[in-house]
Structure 1
């Protein structure tokens, strides 16, 4: 089981604003933010649910190649809402909401590239 993951971003404030907006439809908030003076190397921000950060961004040179991170939703509506919110926050389309039957018959996902080109997805595995 994965406890947490993250990406490195080139513009920390821009990416923080992007993720605040893009992940809000799935219930994620900014849970924790730590400056370089605390971490000893760079500024970080942790997003998650229920007070537990499980997705982190850190200031620095973006991961190359860009990273793919998928978040799970219990229904399809948050997938659609994520996609709209992420695009409105400056994300770039990388595959609109829809069934990806090549994964399985109920795989409903949407893909957006964040400001650094990381492929961010929200997916629902349940039938409509």
Structure 2
């Protein structure tokens, strides 16, 4: 079981603005912020970004309650400056109701929202 995930970002202020917007449709907000570090979550921070040298690729998937939320995440992340890495849709090769969307953040990390529930 995971407690938290942390990503290094090259430009903390830009990444913070991106995640403020991209995670809002998932009900996640910035709950903690200090120089060079920010924590996002619902009731407690579990997703962290911190200033640092870019250190490789990372994939993080957030659970969405329904398919419309996956769509909203994708649109918000693109509007915040992310790059499409797989539009919202079924990924039946994972399982028949796997509905996800993928966006590359400002540092190239693959950020996903996924809903496992049927339509």
* TM-score interval (norm. to shorter): over 0.9
* Greater than 4 Å deviation, 4+ residue runs: none
Q: Unaligned regions of 5+ residues in structure 2, if any?
A: none
Query: Please, what TM-score do these two structures have when normalized by structure 2?
Result: 0.98
Question: Do the aligned partners of 1:83 and 1:111 also contact (CA within 8 Å) in 2?
Answer: yes
Distance in 1 (CA, whole Å) between partners of 2:34 and 2:115 is 31
Matched residue count: 119
Find the counterpart in structure 2 of residue 28 from structure 1.
28
2:75 to 56, 59, 84: 84
Query: Please, what TM-score do these two structures have when normalized by structure 1?
Result: 0.91
Query: 1:31-84: per-residue Cα shift (whole Å, max 9, x none)?
Result: 00133xxxxxxx21000002x0000000011221x1000000111111000000
1:70 to 48, 54, 61: 61
Distance in 2 (CA, whole Å) between partners of 1:30 and 1:111 is 21
Question: Do the aligned partners of 1:7 and 1:62 also contact (CA within 8 Å) in 2?
Answer: no
Q: Unaligned regions of 5+ residues in structure 1, if any?
A: 36-42
Q: Kindly name which structure, 1 or 2, has the bigger radius of gyration based on alpha carbons.
A: 1
Find the counterpart in structure 2 of residue 44 from structure 1.
37
Find the counterpart in structure 1 of residue 7 from structure 2.
7
- Cα RMSD of the aligned pairs, angstroms, is 0.7
